[in-house]
Amino acid sequence: MSKITAAITAVGGYVPEDVLTNEMLEEMVETTDEWITTRTGIKERRILKDPTKGTSFLAIEAAKNLIQKADINPEEIDLIVMATATPDMPVAATGVHVASQIGAINAFSYDLQAACSSFLYGLSTGAAYIESGRYKKVLVIGADKMSSIIDYTDRTTCIIFGDGAGAVLLEPNTEGLGLQDEILRSDSIGRESLKISAGGSLMPPSEETVAKKLHYVHQDGKTVFKFAVSNMAGVSEQIMLRNNLTNTDVNWLVAHQANKRIIDATANRMNLNDEGKVLMNIERYGNTTSATLPLLLSDYEKQFKKGDNLIFASFGGGFTWGAAYLKWAYNS
């Protein structure tokens, strides 16, 4: 019997219409377009301004886009892994609502939170369900409404993040395509460097936590940058070595879109001299956290060919990070 691997067979994406440019941020905080661009590579980001809509809205739209393009019946979906750092609510799982709203009435669903690595961890989890043979169609969605947890008077964070969602469908493959290998890591050394202090069991909401703005993202940028460069680049190189891949074997680097300098450092470590192999949309979207990797797939899908070698890489708060090696399963 041929080995079952989990292949991506369809992708979808969604970003809100409203754009927040660097020039607009110049009016909000002490910064400049030149400063933001040279240090992050970001020119603009998308913002979901409607206060009645949360992360589930973004995820639903991305899933609908995938379902429409792939022409699949949502009732055939077995499972939805909802990767997000900004669930609609702390308790009622966002993925469950998404499943109901897209008509995936036969799917069970749950949320997975690993900061910016959420989608990569979710991809691994979804692949394991496929490889077990128990499930045939697993939808992995990465979505975040980062604008809901950003202090737009804090120039260290408000310049970085945007809102968006992406989705992939995983199905069994016996041609040797799909997910080949992964290296996933975590270390709580970064617990204080990238976090939201309040709102959890350690520091429940109170008048004081709201007044002190402890429900917004806080980031020690220098520490996060240092660890991200070292660890994201490290696992990307490691997964190439472990699978005997050279820079000419890698067709595409699908890297987390946190900072262009981190992406460049990862590409350099992998000796990817051809910039055309390094997928980027950070200039238009900023860091959409759980959505960056699937949004890249959605934006560049038409360029992928069956058998292409993709290296995924991510780094997030916690710290969490990892890399994955996947063979693309279809011609677009």
> DSSP states of 232-278 as a string?
HHHHHHHHHHHTT--TTT--EEEE--S-HHHHHHHHHHTT---GGGB
Neighbours of 91 (CB within 10 A): 6
pLDDT above 80 for 134: yes
pLDDT above 70 for 203: yes
Do 48 and 142 sit in the same domain of this protein? yes
Distance CA(314)–CA(254), nearest Å, equals 9
Range of the domain at 296: 180-328
Do 169 and 206 sit in the same domain of this protein? no
The yes-or-no answer on residue 256 being catalytic is yes
**101 — pLDDT class (breaks 50, 70, 90):** very high
Amino acid at 117: S
Do 188 and 166 sit in the same domain of this protein? no
State which of 127, 161, 177 marks the end of a domain. 177
The helix or strand, by DSSP H or E, that contains position 121, with its residue range, turns out to be: helix 118-131
Show Cβ contacts of residue 105 under 8 Å, excluding neighbours closer than 6 positions. Answer: 74, 75, 99
State which of 112, 144, 177 marks the end of a domain. 177
Do 41 and 138 sit in the same domain of this protein? yes
Distance CA(114)–CA(83), nearest Å, equals 8
**Backbone phi and psi for residue 47, each to the nearest 5 degrees, phi listed first:** -130, 130
Average pLDDT, the chain: 96
State which of 123, 155, 177 marks the end of a domain. 177
Choose the catalytic residue: 22, 173, 231, 287. Answer: 287
> For residue 107, what pLDDT is reported?
98
Do 193 and 98 sit in the same domain of this protein? no
The yes-or-no answer on residue 158 being catalytic is no
Distance CA(6)–CA(133), nearest Å, equals 10
Return the percentage of the chain with pLDDT > 70, whole number. Answer: 100
> For residue 267, what pLDDT is reported?
95
Please indicate, yes or no, whether the overall pTM of this predicted structure exceeds 0.85: yes
Summarize the confidence of residues 70-99 as an average pLDDT: 97
Do 31 and 44 sit in the same domain of this protein? yes
Distance of CA 319 to the CA centre of its chain: 15
pLDDT above 70 for 1: no
pLDDT above 80 for 128: yes
Do 128 and 238 sit in the same domain of this protein? no
Q: Strands of the chain (E only): list them.
A: 5-14, 18-21, 44-47, 79-83, 108-112, 138-145, 163-173, 178-186, 194-195, 218-219, 252-255, 309-316, 320-327
Summarize the confidence of residues 89-105 as an average pLDDT: 97
pLDDT above 80 for 226: yes
Number of structural domains, the chain? Answer: 2
> For residue 69, what pLDDT is reported?
96
Can you tell me whether residue 192 is helix, strand or coil? coil
Choose the catalytic residue: 65, 97, 116, 259. Answer: 116
Do 47 and 191 sit in the same domain of this protein? no
Residues in the chain: 332
Distance CA(223)–CA(113), nearest Å, equals 21
> For residue 332, what pLDDT is reported?
84
Q: The CATH number of the domain where 147 resides is what?
A: 3.40.47.10
Do 78 and 156 sit in the same domain of this protein? yes
> For residue 12, what pLDDT is reported?
98
Based on its alpha-carbon atoms, the radius of gyration of the chain, rounded to whole angstroms, reads 19
Q: What is the DSSP letter of 325?
A: E
| Contact present, 167 and 65 (Cβ < 8 Å) | yes
Choose the catalytic residue: 97, 256, 259, 309. Answer: 256
Do 165 and 233 sit in the same domain of this protein? no
Summarize the confidence of residues 34-51 as an average pLDDT: 97
pLDDT digits (tens, 9 = 90+) for 258-305: 999 999 999 999 999 877 899 999 999 999 999 999 999 999 999 999
Do 36 and 165 sit in the same domain of this protein? yes
Summarize the confidence of residues 96-114 as an average pLDDT: 98
Do 68 and 166 sit in the same domain of this protein? yes
| Exposure letters 68-79 (e unless 16+ CB within 10 A, then b) | ebeebebeebbb
